[in-house]
Structure 1
Amino acid sequence: MIELLYADDVMVVVSKPADLLSVPGIGEEKKDCLVSRLQMEFPTIRIVHRLDYATSGLLVLALNRGSHRALSIQFQERVPKKRYQALVTGQVGDSKGEINLPIGPDWERRPRMLIDHQQGKPSLTHWECIDKQDNCSRMLLYPHTGRSHQLRVHMLAMGHPILGDVFYTEEAEHSSHERMMLHADQLGLQHPVSGQWMDFNSPCPF
């Protein structure tokens, strides 16, 4: 179920459920998506940024061309503040750190991505470990770049892939979870018209 958190004449903020495309894919079976569902209530809605199919959490969408341009520029200039919560495999040793590793396509296993020191794009993630259990850790993840699968690939490179991730964990680790344990729980940005800073929160469902 899509949760509507904010709406005015120029933008909406929603929390996307896991296992729903942000935009339609290729083929009849991939037409159902966040945008197509929201178009029933907001016919002029435009995507600004995306979450992976398996990721849940906060997204802002524009309702006209001007707000779409203003919001898109914010994301290009990395103005918005984004935070994710994740459950990852194993016990993370340190309490905080950063991962600064370039990411590029895994051409032989698309749509997977990988660390590519030759042709990958610069990618930076800050992280905090806030809880440890017997076989997993709860992480707060702060992406400073927005590469495809960035958090998933960086957690894998750290040796602690995200639980439930069908692309980057072993089958035994993802088949025991009903979803990927990654949720965009905080989003801060400037209103595209007034410029006022706005903070949104979506409680982590796991």
Structure 2
Amino acid sequence: MTLIAEDLLLLLLDDEKGTLAASTYLQTALGGALLVELALGGAVEVEEKRGFWHSAKVRATTPTTPTDPLLAAALATVAEKERSAQDLVNRLGKGVKDDLLASLERRGMVEPRRDKVLGLFPRTTWPAVDSTHEDAVRRALSAALVSGAEPDDRTRALVALLDALGRAHKSVEHQGMSVGEVRKRARALADGDWAAKAVKDAIAASTAAMTAAVAAGGAAAASS
């Protein structure tokens, strides 16, 4: 099974060009996806935020090491000490993009393509090789966002992460629905009473960090 972070990365990659959308705040997004996956597995909990000046802290709740090496490394970081969720998602996401891409390459889903921009600046893109899994993920998202089907917890979590990035409506074919309707459905799925408190708290903390990153990126772009 792929990680939620891997599915998120696939959805943000252009299948033909191999370039990434939302690259400015990708680190925060991938860190949030890892935190949410740990919460879904019962490995972490997020305390309630107590007042404006008190950030919600995250702590490990299990000594059991996940079998996936990326999740194991993420849990080890959580277990070092209690940190704010916003600090933690950025720590978890630091440098993880390359590890996730390498994992997707090993699975035969993407491949590296190296070239130079303007013949001078080296870059690596990651076009799709086999989109079978990504297509299945998009079908699950479409069923939830467009057809009104009841999604599983992993799909709901992915919807919440995409919604925080402003990408939920860009991940599915609308089939006659407006952008606003798809966004409204995404928000309803993300906010619904569907998961254990630890999972909902992790999603809330992760999406808050992503929303702040997106807002900061927009403000920086506007001032430049």
TM over 0.5: no
How high is the TM-score relative to the length of structure 1?
A: 0.25
How high is the TM-score relative to the length of structure 2?
A: 0.23
Bigger relative contact order (CA 8 A; separation at least 6): 2
More strand by percentage? 1
